[in-house]
Structure 1
Amino acid sequence: MFRYLAVLGVALLLSACDTTRVNRDFDTQRDFGGYRSWSWKEPGVQFQPNDPRLQSDLTEQRIRQAVAGQLDQRGLRMAAAGTTPDLKVQTWVVVENRQQLVSSQYGGGWGGPWGGYWGYPPVTSETRSVEYKVTTLQIDLLDGKDGKLVWRGSTEQILNDNPDPVARDTAIRTTVAKILSQYPPR
């Protein structure tokens, strides 16, 4: 019973950490309305760490397609070959290990209606270390003329080892859409 409650508590705690807040930063001196075209700054998708279990051509293809689709929805078009784009795009996928301490107490007493306690004092308090992986997806937009960073958006999520390719594709598209929902800055 205790193990069930501990696992349930850890699952709830980790799901509470799974909020996808978008972080963004941008150059307030730039006129984002003037940006109309874009191209990739190669390598367009970079992985850290360079782990073959995480890095794959399929993941890179999914990220590139999701970014291209979102930029297209925002009125930015892929620059013609041989022309200088207004923006250069580069993405980063960073996976890091995190650790969280989870404490739980079990046993103990209950309070009576007139104050005071009856039952047993807390039997045990247990603290466990829970390790998990967090994935950060970061999208950088750089000025095509001077190469300086003009906009950055990122979000992090707990890594989900989902073997279903359709679910992976959906997760990447959803994450990219959340990040680029903050572009252009208002």
Structure 2
Amino acid sequence: MRNLLFSTALLLLLLLSACTPATSIQSEPAPGFTLATYRQFAFMEVDTDAEKMGPDFEGHVHFLKQELARQLEQRGLKQAPSVDEADLLINLGIVVDRKVQTRETNIITDPPRYIGQRRYTWKSEEVEVGRYSVGTVSVHLVDPVQNELMWQGTAERIISDKPEKLREQIEKGIEQLVEEMPS
């Protein structure tokens, strides 16, 4: 009985973890790039129209920068007081796409539509079943002396509408992204 209960709990845990949306990480370093080569970093200006992005956008960008700075400082770099003093520049790109989830009706299992005068129709059509947002963060590390892209990475996932959950997702996504950077 105990083995059956343990097996059922393990199966349930595996099913729940399989349903959790994963963060898709992609990275591409320049030949010979390592973070150990650099001492200080600074963020390039994020150029955006904040009014179009929504009321919380500036706060999310600030939190994203803080989290990225914290992760890089754990890897041994320090944040420079100005862009001119940094030997590594960080360019951020942020995209949030609103998407619609649909399903197609099935003429076998879905009931026919009544269109009046004792007439029914059985045609398939797309039905909206939900809306969600996909967030993508791209990070470019640029060497200002050589004026070359040294590393680029992107993190993409379905994001939550709840601010607390979104911050947790940002923390995990940035952590996974920084882990991809060569030491």
TM tier, smaller: 0.5 to 0.7
Q: 1:82 to 1:179 in 2, by over 3 A?
A: closer
Partner of 1:141: 141
Contact 2:34 2:181 in 1 (8 A): no
Post-superposition shift, 1:17? 8.6
Letter in 1 for 2:151: W
In 2, the alpha carbon distance for the partners of 1:123 and 1:41 equals 55
In 1, the alpha carbon distance for the partners of 2:34 and 2:25 equals 22
Post-superposition shift, 1:83? 5.3
Post-superposition shift, 1:21? 1.7
Q: 1:123 to 1:30 in 2, by over 3 A?
A: closer
Query: Is the counterpart of residue 79 in structure 1 residue 80 in structure 2?
Result: yes
Counterparts of 1:1-186 in structure 2, within 5 Å, are: 18-43=21-46, 46-47=47-48, 51-53=52-54, 56-81=57-82, 84-103=85-104, 105=106, 122-124=108-110, 127-129=126-128, 131-162=131-162, 164=163, 166-184=164-182
In 2, the alpha carbon distance for the partners of 1:171 and 1:63 equals 10
**Identity level (%):** 22
**In the TM superposition, what whole-angstrom CA distance separates every residue of 1:102-133 from its partner, at most 9, and x where no partner exists?**
34659xxxxxxxxxxxxxxx433764355532
Q: Structure 1: where are the runs of 5+ without partners?
A: 1-14, 107-121
Q: 1:132 to 1:82 in 2, by over 3 A?
A: closer
Aligned residues: 153
Contact 1:47 1:92 in 2 (8 A): no
Q: TM-score, normalised by structure 2?
A: 0.67
The structure where strand makes up a greater share of residues is 1
Q: TM-score, normalised by structure 1?
A: 0.66
Post-superposition shift, 1:144? 2.5
In 2, the alpha carbon distance for the partners of 1:126 and 1:168 equals 34
Q: Structure 2: where are the runs of 5+ without partners?
A: 1-17, 111-123
RMSD (CA atoms): 3.2
In 2, the alpha carbon distance for the partners of 1:48 and 1:132 equals 22
Secondary structure of 1:145's partner?
A: coil
Post-superposition shift, 1:20? 0.9
Secondary structure of 2:85's partner?
A: coil
